[in-house]
Structure 1
């Protein structure tokens, strides 16, 4: 640990700029922003908890790159951590309590003698923290009391997993303060999912937490969800002269629960017709050979969605291999294939209950018309409303942002980059 006043002086004197550049490899202007962000939070920590010894931790948000609606069928996904993150200025305390001050939220105090599940706390930040603490103790890891000042620029509601970033941040703090940073990113991700499922009350998969915790591009095979096969794929998007954009189309997520639920439901219908629980339990060749029989048992849309699943698994493998071999054109081609499949087969671009309202369709069409051969786009996340993902050449990214924001509003387009580390101790 370093005295907070001393670490503040080092940040102000730019002595930590090399560390920041590794976390946020965008440009010098971004480093100026991050330096101020960190110094502001150190000052906040001093004002709340005194001029104590501190450590600093960071955990990024994530983006889904390939594997649209495959994880819930125990398929394959390609995800990546991004340069938006949650950071925490942390100090030990001797009170056996966790005190958290998070910008924009009410302060939280948790007594380590009372970290059991509480139904009334479901859906709260407290439930997430208690879930992570329980996960640590269940795994035989150490926990303890600490104070933390936290801020996050991971966008809420944009499919970038702000909750998974927070879970990863808490797990990484506990790993650093009480376990000598020996807990693997995979274990931290598994504990984060446990916290969200069992304490927060959201039945999410493991992709979000894994991408936030592991970092860079991550290829995950969920065939055995208890022991997923995880491969980090190191790739520098900026070296290829490209940026990642997430465009918020401002579509409402209201009344879309049935649309989201229909995808796993119909995929499971196909699996059941073949005597299995999930599509991930079925051989791809066997499925395609069985389509004439399936067409008499389930709906045609269910079959189309199943075709998407099996082809999407293959595309994830192609995308991962292309990145490992720095075959970027092959990667972009496959991302476009994935987007086309989501549009035509998975059919999660707009709600059939409101077919005249299609902001994602409009965003995709306008983006393709603008980019030509200078990038690709696809639906981002669950679909039906929300965001699209765009890989666009750096030379036109500012122009693209201005163009698309004329339709969807100021700051609807977020220019991001891929971060090469997941949850980490900054200093």
Structure 2
């Protein structure tokens, strides 16, 4: 049974027939951050890829004033299209994303109408693969098609999703997650111009170069560390504000060097270290993109190890600082299995969620077996880059 067939069955169970309304299939992939750990929100560079795990859905106009959502494995809910203001009590909930995306669509000149939507996901929840960005993109493509208005570019839809997540959902994310989901494939992204990020794509299969892309759920939902996550951009932007700027990309590194000791007194050592990470990681993104374009996996893996070290030492988003360190433990265990081969690094926001490993193909079975034995069956999963970004298709 295909993903579309599955959600069609779910739609019938949840809403019965569509009462003559045309059915729309929607799709939005998960994403993996390949390079650029906490650089996007500072106007830096990122490499990210859409994955072969996704949210699939079916939607139809329902003729009423409510958006009714049935998501497999979760409670049903509805949102009234006549009330699209922010609701504080909806923070960190799917309803907040629906309301936020509907308001963003209204701002494109559309008139929000009621719709029924069924969703099913193969994206591990809380694993740092951007299930929230995928949901925003799936909602956006459904609303774009069902409500009359201009077609939306991936960059436009991504910004709408980011706003919904920042303002309605309450998570201060950058734009990388949403843009990767909307673009599809493997992409380099430059966020220096916040409202007009530049991007370039590359057709590359890691497995053709002898390595599997594997993501390991560390056994702790990253939402547990939301405050730790939020402190990263907050501290980086406090450094930028010290120079009268909003983001670190606007600060001259030479000026930072001249003021580093004063910054540590005013902001603390961790803020200074996180700024150091930003500039180092940004350089490593560019070097890794060049390596991938050349097809030089050895250079890419060497640089990925450097990136992992920078996240651990300077960014410090692999450990919460107490006895419970799920991401750091998973990284240590993965290194034991790889024994100097491939590469590992923290993935995404950090602290919890998942880690990333590039594993030699002859080691993938042993790697999965041992990581699952330590962290639980199904913790370690193998992915490939998926070409298709967020989309909607009339059935």
> Given the superposition, is the C-alpha separation of residues 329 and 176 from structure 1 closer, same or farther in structure 2, using an over 3 Å criterion?
farther
Instruction: Please give the TM-score of this superposition, normalised by the length of structure 1.
Output: 0.82
Match of 1:200 in 2: 169
> Given the superposition, is the C-alpha separation of residues 61 and 254 from structure 1 closer, same or farther in structure 2, using an over 3 Å criterion?
closer
Which residues of structure 1 form unaligned runs of 5+? 1-34
Alignment of 1:276-355 (within 5 A): 276-288=245-257, 291=260, 299-352=268-321, 354=322
Deviates more, 1:84-93 or 1:270-279: 270-279
Aligned counterpart in structure 2 of residue 388 of structure 1, from 355, 368, 377: 355
Match of 1:45 in 2: 11
Give the drift of 1:342.
Answer: 0.8
Match of 1:363 in 2: 330
**Conserved 8 A contact 1:99-1:148:** yes
Aligned counterpart in structure 2 of residue 103 of structure 1, from 65, 72, 87: 72
Alignment deviations for residues 82-140 of structure 1 (CA, whole Å, 9 cap, x no partner): 11111112233333543322112233334433434334433332221121111112122
1-structure distance, mates of 2:90, 2:267: 40
Aligned counterpart in structure 2 of residue 420 of structure 1, from 382, 387, 390: 387
How many residue pairs align between the two structures?
391
Match of 1:4 in 2: none
Aligned counterpart in structure 2 of residue 377 of structure 1, from 333, 344, 369: 344
1-structure distance, mates of 2:225, 2:68: 37
Give the drift of 1:224.
Answer: 2.5
1-structure distance, mates of 2:38, 2:218: 20
The structure with the larger Rg is 1
Match of 1:64 in 2: 33
Alignment of 1:220-235 (within 5 A): 220-235=189-204
SS of 1:220's partner is: strand
2-structure distance, mates of 1:249, 1:357: 12
> Given the superposition, is the C-alpha separation of residues 126 and 70 from structure 1 closer, same or farther in structure 2, using an over 3 Å criterion?
same
> Given the superposition, is the C-alpha separation of residues 174 and 229 from structure 1 closer, same or farther in structure 2, using an over 3 Å criterion?
same
> Given the superposition, is the C-alpha separation of residues 155 and 395 from structure 1 closer, same or farther in structure 2, using an over 3 Å criterion?
same
1-structure distance, mates of 2:371, 2:167: 40
> Given the superposition, is the C-alpha separation of residues 386 and 146 from structure 1 closer, same or farther in structure 2, using an over 3 Å criterion?
closer
Alignment of 1:167-182 (within 5 A): 167-178=136-147, 182=151
2-structure distance, mates of 1:111, 1:384: 36
Give the drift of 1:188.
Answer: 1.1
SS of 1:378's partner is: strand
2-structure distance, mates of 1:362, 1:100: 38
Instruction: Please give the TM-score of this superposition, normalised by the length of structure 2.
Output: 0.88
1-structure distance, mates of 2:171, 2:366: 38
2-structure distance, mates of 1:207, 1:254: 18
2-structure distance, mates of 1:334, 1:226: 29
Give the drift of 1:402.
Answer: 0.2
2-structure distance, mates of 1:374, 1:291: 36
